[in-house]
Amino acid sequence: MASLCCSTTTTIILSVKFPQSIRTHTQSLRLNRLKTQKQRITERRSLIVVRSITEDREAIDVKKSDTFDPQEEPKGEEEDRDSDRLMSRGINAAIVLAAGTVAVTKLLSIDHDYWHGWTLYEILRYAPEHNWVAYEQILKTNPVLAKMAISGVVYSLGDWIAQCYEGKPLFEFDRTRVLRSGLVGFTLHGSLSHYYYQFCEALFPFQDWWVVPAKVAFDQTVWSAIWNTIYYTVLGLLRFQSPDKIFGEIKTTFWPMITAGWKLWPLAHLVTYGVIPVDQRLLWVDCIELIWVTILSTYSNEKAEAQTIGETNSSSTED
């Protein structure tokens, strides 16, 4: 009996202890699953937070790029601009020095074939006279080409003076603008003026006192209107402007330029038509043209810049 009682008690104890271990094992498994789920949830939350932070940073960068101030340029762009400006100055200075050297050499070496043994004083003394003789010979052999060359040089110098008068430094002039003005003077002003002065002499073949005032009046009305129109038309074409813009510029500058010419040219043309011979008139007129081309070029480029500024403002308001 005693043995049976012991066996039954042991079995009962064992039967009671066995399910307790199973429960602890299952509880530990559940705890591990909960821990892993919590870790996954925390990892997902951290990923979501990181993504939101990166998206916010990207949005802030986009806003900063949208609100970029054009005045705050990087230093690299400023350095590139300064280097380009220095390079442009160097090119302009080289062009001016080369052209000046060639001109002075040509003028001073007019007697180089027979100046052997001459002193420097003799070279400088006879150079102006012999250059004038050479100019008169060219006028006899090829007058149109000589006058075209003179007008091209004068119109280029006039535009350069105009740019300096507008406030640009001496060697920061616009080469394209100078080339346009010189091209107009070379191709049109010299040749047309040559034939115009001959036409004017044929139109007024008299020797009376009223002929000179009549030529001045004709020059400052008919010829001035024709030449100003040609000048602004060709400059507009060289700027690749549309016909409407060219016509608008001519319309706005026509009468002001006519009246501005009356302040300069009537007195100068009293000398032109009363004193200067026909073949020498263009040289005298081109000397006065240095002042007039400065006025023409300044006025033309002011109108062109005003039109471009107006177009940019209108396009920005439309946008």
Same domain, 287 and 169: yes
Do 217 and 137 have their domain in common?
no
Residue 3 maps to a domain: no
pLDDT, position 307: 56
Same domain, 239 and 110: no
Pick from 198, 191, 103, 195: nearest CA to 147 = 191
In a domain, 70, yes or no: no
Residues 134 and 150 in one domain: no
pLDDT of residue 314: 53
Domain-ending residue, one of 109, 141, 173: 141
| 216 Cβ contact partners less than 8 Å away, ≥ 6 residues apart | 265, 266, 269, 270, 273
Q: Which of 157, 249, 155 is nearest to 193 (CA)?
A: 155
The domain in which residue 111 lies consists of 86-141
Query: Do both 111 and 248 map to the same domain?
Result: no
What is the three-class DSSP state of 34?
helix
176 assigned to some structural domain: yes
Cβ(154)–Cβ(185) below 8 Å: yes
Q: What is the DSSP letter of 114?
A: S
**Do 246 and 237 meet the contact criterion of CB atoms below 8 Å apart?**
yes
How far apart CA 58 and CA 62 sit, in angstroms, is: 6
The answer to whether the Cα torsion of 171, 175, 177, 181 is positive or negative is: positive
Together in a domain, 127 and 187: no
Residues 150 and 270 in one domain: yes
Cα 192 from Cα 151, distance rounded (Å): 11
Residues 103 and 233 in one domain: no
Give the ranges where 67-189 is alpha helix by DSSP (H): 75-108, 120-141, 143-165, 175-184
Written as one letter, the residue type at 171 is: F
Residue 122 has a CB neighbour count (10 Å cut-off) of 12
Identify whether residues 281 and 209 lie together within a single domain. yes
Judgement on whether residues 129 and 202 belong to the same structural domain of the protein: no
pLDDT of the residue at 196: 95
Per the confidence metrics, is the pTM higher than 0.75? Answer: no
Q: Which of 111, 126, 141 is a domain's end point?
A: 141
Token digits of residue 70:
């054009």
206 in a structural domain: yes
pLDDT at 68: 46
Positions of the chain with pLDDT under 70: 1-35, 37-76, 296-319
Overall domain count for the chain: 2
CB 287 within 8 A of CB 268: no
Please list, in sequence order, all residues whose beta carbon lies within 8 angstroms of the beta carbon of residue 147, skipping any fewer than 6 positions away: 190, 191, 193, 194, 282
Q: Which of 125, 141, 157 is the last residue of a domain?
A: 141
**126 and 206 in a common domain:** no
C-alpha closest to that of 126 among 139, 138, 108: 108
pLDDT per residue over 154-187, tens digit each?
Answer: 999 988 888 888 888 888 889 999 999 999 999 9
Read off the amino acid at residue 292: W
Q: Are 191 and 147 in contact (CB under 8 A)?
A: yes
Contacts of 164 (CB under 8 A, 6+ apart): 170, 173
148 plus 96 within the same structural domain: no
- Rounded Cα distance, 145 and 301, in Å: 28
